[in-house]
Amino acid sequence: MSKLKVIRESHNLTQEELSEKSGISVRTIQRIETGKNPKGYTLRMLAKVLQVEENKLLSTESKQNIAQIAEEKENSEESIPVNYSYLKLINLSSIPFIITPPLNIIIPLVLMFTMKQKNVLSKQLISIQIVWTILAPIVFMTGIFLKLGHKFTLILMILIALSNVFIVLRNAIEIDKTKKLHYKLNFNMI
């Protein structure tokens, strides 16, 4: 609830009555009560009519502050301490299970929960494995439909598996060097 609305109601005034006494339009009063801060003449007149200091009508939570609070809430998982050794283990745990795709997601996921590493970086690592697990069969099936022969299919399978090994190892190296991921997504799938 806006400060203006609280003060207006404490004076037993409707928006229309406040508009008449201050000379400020009802629409402007409505905008202020929905979160817009009054400025200049509007601020002075409302403060004068309501007999309060001007700063009492200003909202302490501007849209920028509200956005910042929402961002802090969203990133609260970043406050969970990251153990980079565990993070590397979670990342590297998917390599033995590259040929059995559901396990390359399940094992790191189980490790994430047992090691209590439910942070943004570990979620990114698992999301990368999920995306790879979705894309790998699509690429493989496309290669089969091209009918370029058995050798091509075998090479394609090896390249798909090696691509995942490369992504995992590259992220492990980057975790060691900079405590960040080299390959990351703009979204989390978990």
Q: What percent of the chain has pLDDT over 70?
A: 88
Residue that has been written with the tokens 């939570």 in this structure: 61
DSSP percent split of the chain into helix, strand, coil, nearest 5: 70, 0, 30
Domains of the chain: 3-60 (1.10.260.40), 80-178 (no CATH)
Average pLDDT, the chain: 84
The segment with the largest mean pLDDT, out of 38-42, 53-57, 75-79, is 38-42
pLDDT at site 65: 47
**What would the mean pLDDT of 102-123 be, rounded to a whole number?**
90
Average pLDDT over residues 166-178: 93
Which residue in this structure is represented by tokens 């970043």?
A: 78
Burial class (CB in 10 A: 0-12, 13-18, 19+), 156: middle
Tens digits of residue pLDDT in 133-142: 999 999 999 9
Predicted confidence at residue 60, as pLDDT, reads 60
Phi/psi at 27 (nearest 5 deg)?
A: -60, -40
Return the pLDDT at 159: 94
Degrees to nearest 5, angle at CA 29 with 26 and 31: 110
Most confident of 11-20, 61-70, 165-174: 165-174
Least confident range from 32-46, 51-65, 75-89, 161-175: namely: 51-65
- The whole-number average pLDDT for the span 104-132 is 91
String of b and e for 27-53 (b: at least 16 CB within 10 Å)? ebbeebbeebbbeeebbebbbebbebe
Q: Report pLDDT for 36.
A: 85
Contact 182, 173 (CB under 8 A): yes
- Count CB atoms within 10 A of the CB of residue 112: 21
pLDDT attached to residue 63? 46
Q: How far is CA 112 from CA 142, 148, 179, in A?
A: 33, 41, 17
Mean pLDDT score, 147-170:
92
At 23, which amino acid appears?
G
Report the pLDDT value the prediction gives residue 1, as an integer from 0 to 100.
60
Which residue has 């817009």 as its token pair? 36
Non-local (6+) Cβ contacts of 166 within 8 A are none
